[in-house]
Structure 1
Amino acid sequence: MAMRIALLLLLVAVLATALAVWRDPFLLVRGEFARQRWSAGLSRATVEAAGHRWVYAYREADVADAPTVVMLHGFTGSKENWYPLAQALGGRYRLLIPDLPGWGESQRRPGVAYGFPEQATNVEAFIRALSPDRPVVLLGHSMGGGIAALTAARYPDDVLKVGLFDAAGVRFKENRFGLAVLAGNNPFAVDDAASLQHYVDTVFFDAKAKPWIPWPASAALIRKRRADAGFEQAVLERIGRSADSLLPGEEAVRIRQPALLLWCRQDAVIDASALDLYASRIPQARKVLLDGCGHMSLVERPRAVAEAVVKWIQSP
């Protein structure tokens, strides 16, 4: 009798789960993100800053006086992009990994701009809210790299060190992605299965690191990206084609903090020539060029990136 009741409860649970996924296929994506967060030892929290509700992942350090590291994701990205690196770093640092305003789970306000200068102001408020007494180590990837550069230049009292990974904000060597952006297109646009695969193939070089996105999770992602298409185009207009698009590189000459510039040689989005362009503006920067990976260094080579970050933070 007990076995029958257990089987019945299991069947009810399976049916309830199937019904929930049928109603909201993105539940699978959120579930996978939660699994990754748990695996990296991170927790989830919210904070109000710069007129937005932020959702962020965090983990306290093993040692109370360890540096605080803030990680900024890129265009069409989210806090989850940093989870492999967070796991590789272990408990060395206090980690704060937000969804930038407008992206992921954080608040998006209608009529508000989300370009480089606006997000730099937002990030400064986020830092002040969660690390009011100590400057942070600020890491930024892609668009987040441009935001990190501008934040470090404009708010030096809040940023102890700054790391730019495959960062936007300079006029790098022409490639297919850059030419498409300048032509008014969104090379990251996703509206069907083929364009989703193209997106993955563009940002990843290492085939072993490419995420497997089964149906119906793939359908949920496609639906979300379709809904975000207008927002993505508006942001890309500001960070890729407006007068502000090269602002991070222009103001990087004001960065006096220790800096880390990390790229992948096979980056098909922000060409690796951008590394030396940033280095010419930040002569004190440490340069790291990884091989065998593309735009998603954080996911493709998390251990190598973690090793570079640790050596840099620990250096005098």
Structure 2
Amino acid sequence: MPGRVLDAEFARQRWLAGASVHSVRVGDHRWTYLEAGQGPLIVLLHGFTGAKENWLPLMRELARTHRVIAPDLPGWGESERRADESYGPSEQVERIAQFLRHFNERPALVVGHSMGGQFLGLLGARHPDLVGPIALMSSAGVRFEENSFGREVMAGRNPFEVRTRAELHRYLGIVFEDPPFVPWPADEAMVRKRRLDVQFEQKVLDSIGRGPEAFTLESEMGRIRAPVLLLWCRDDRVIDVSAAEIFHRGLAQSQTVLFAGCGHMPMMAQPGNVAAALREFIDTHSAEVTPIGSSAQRLAGRG
């Protein structure tokens, strides 16, 4: 049973990170999330086709000093999906707002990757009371310099679609500069899950990538009052690094950190470097974190 192999690998990664699985009903959905560590709260929001498990290498680093929560966003992974609901930007932003209120603690940092960054940016613009510092990692939501991925999306296709093992390994080659080795039967388990999500993924991509709300963040980002860390890999073939400069110009207060050699998944490819950048950003802005109720740039090398 291929699924057991994948489950065993995730269990191993949870053990290394000291993470446990939790479930809570917030609003109209049941959320499943990972939690590890103690201390000030960090919340991690995954991207399109992603899951809470994407964050486990980074959680292992961050949990040494912080309490870290990484949910499956509603509709994704082990969180609830409802056939009569939409999972586009506006709906998900309101659900994330409810989820953060559930913990009754303004996070020391919220990090959003790709689609999760798009949602987080809109959250910062529309619910500034809920967040202090935020980090947009390889974030969607702006018109970046044209690349193959963007052209495919705008043509109505899903470049991440996976129905076969060959397509899975092609997908990994898009999102990683140095794709991880995923042997059989783990790759077969991943394919079976992704195959079931093909229609859902297409519907979500219609909303976040080419629908009326696809670039709403570009027009709303000026309303974000929180300090923002923009974290990218120079060789990102999904959300081109030019997006970081677009965010930088549109945000009132931002800092950019660029890495080399990690593609679209810096939190998995370089968790140590990413954790160091996030901790430094938190330390710089820790005084701005209160209970709920300028620019610099540097290049980090391959880690």
Q: TM-score, normalised by structure 2?
A: 0.91
In the aligned structure 1, how far is the partner of 2:155 from the partner of 2:91?
Answer: 24
2:52 is the counterpart of 1:79: yes
Matching of residues 6-21 of structure 1 within 5 Å? 21=1
The whole-number CA distance in structure 1 between the counterparts of 2:107 and 2:57 is 24
2:19 to 17, 30, 42: 42
Please tell me whether the aligned partners of residues 52 and 71 of structure 2 are also in contact (alpha carbons under 8 angstroms). yes
1:301 aligns with 2:270: yes
| Structure 1 residue 290, shift from structure 2 partner | 0.7
Alignment match, 1:101: 74
Q: How many residues align?
A: 285
Q: Distance in 2 between matches of 1:172 and 1:191?
A: 28
The 1-side partners of 2:126 and 2:108 are apart by 14
Does the residue aligned with 1:97 lie in a helix, a strand or coil? strand
The structure 1 residue matched to 2:144, chosen from 156, 162, 172, is 172
- Could you tell me which amino acid in structure 2 is paired with residue 143 of structure 1? M
Distance 2:8 2:218 in 1: 38
Q: Rg larger in 1 or in 2?
A: 1
Q: Does 1:57 align with 2:34?
A: yes
Distance in 1 (alpha carbons) for counterparts of 2:131 and 2:221: 13
Amino acid at match of 1:45: H
Does the aligned pair in 2 maintain the 1:142–1:165 contact within 8 Å? yes
- Work out whether residues 127 and 136 of structure 1, in 8 Å CA contact, stay in contact via their aligned partners in 2: no
Show CA shifts across 1:133-183 (max 9, x none).
Answer: 435521000000101111111111110111000000000000000000000
Runs of 4+ off more than 3 Å: 133-136
> Would the aligned equivalents of 1:203 and 1:268 in 2 still touch at CA under 8 Å?
yes
**Counterpart position of 1:110:** 83
Tell me the distance in 1 between the aligned counterparts of 2:148 and 2:101.
Answer: 39
Is 1:119 the counterpart of 2:92? The answer is yes
Would you say the 8 A contact 1:120–1:148 is kept in 2? Answer: yes
The 2-side partners of 1:251 and 1:49 are apart by: 26
TM alignment of 1:132-211, pairs within 5 A: 132-205=104-177, 207=178, 210-211=179-180
Structure 1, unaligned runs of 5 or more: 1-20
Instruction: State the one-letter code of the partner of 1:41.
Output: G
1:261 to 216, 230, 253: 230
Of residues 245, 249, 254, the one that matches 1:280 is 249
Give 3-state SS (helix, strand or coil) of 1:157's partner.
Answer: helix
CA contact (8 A) 1:136 1:158 kept: no
Distance 2:54 2:110 in 1: 15
Whether the 8 Å CA contact 2:42–2:107 is kept in 1: the answer is no
